[in-house]
Amino acid sequence: MIRLVRQYVASRSIRSSSRFQRGNRSRARPGKREPTHAEILAQRTRIGELLGQIRDLQAEWTEEAIERITTENTTLKQRVRQLAADNRTLDERLKASRSNLRFQDRRVADLEARIADPASTI
């Protein structure tokens, strides 16, 4: 994979630089626009970044790094479980509070009705 990218970069840099160095633009195809220096620079920069990412992905992991990441992953999983349990608890408390509020609203409405019409309670 890296070899193919490097070959592509090499072929692109040879083709693009040779046109500009010779100053001969007559070889360019009619209707096709020449890539600007900025476009070429941007493409080369992007290719360099991608090659760096490939190199990083191919790097071997050390035992310490594997152990650290595994430990961190375990810790994060435990934290997720704890947060999920806390979320369930808070959700249950919220439901209970809403139920209590509905009950209290009915009780207040009943008491207001009694105050408004004292004859109906006798």
User: Is residue 104 assigned to a domain?
Assistant: no
User: Is residue 106 assigned to a domain?
Assistant: no
Domain extent, residue 26, equals 2-95
- pLDDT score, position 79: 98
- pLDDT score, position 9: 65
pLDDT, tens digit (0-9, with 9 covering 90-100), for 74-91: 999 999 999 999 999 999
- pLDDT score, position 31: 60
Encoding tokens for residue 83? 């947060």
User: Is residue 27 assigned to a domain?
Assistant: yes
**Count of domains observed in the chain:** 1
- For the chain, give the secondary structure using H, E and C: CHHHHHHHHHHHHHHHHHHHHHCCCCCCCCCCCCCCHHHHHHHHHHHHHHHHHHHHHHCCCCHHHHHHHHHHHHHHHHHHHHHHHHHHHHHHHHHHHHHHHHHHHHHHHHHHHHHHCHHHHC
User: Is residue 115 assigned to a domain?
Assistant: no
- pLDDT score, position 25: 52
* Spans of the chain below 50 pLDDT: 16-19
User: Is residue 76 assigned to a domain?
Assistant: yes
User: Is residue 64 assigned to a domain?
Assistant: yes
User: Is residue 116 assigned to a domain?
Assistant: no
User: Is residue 30 assigned to a domain?
Assistant: yes
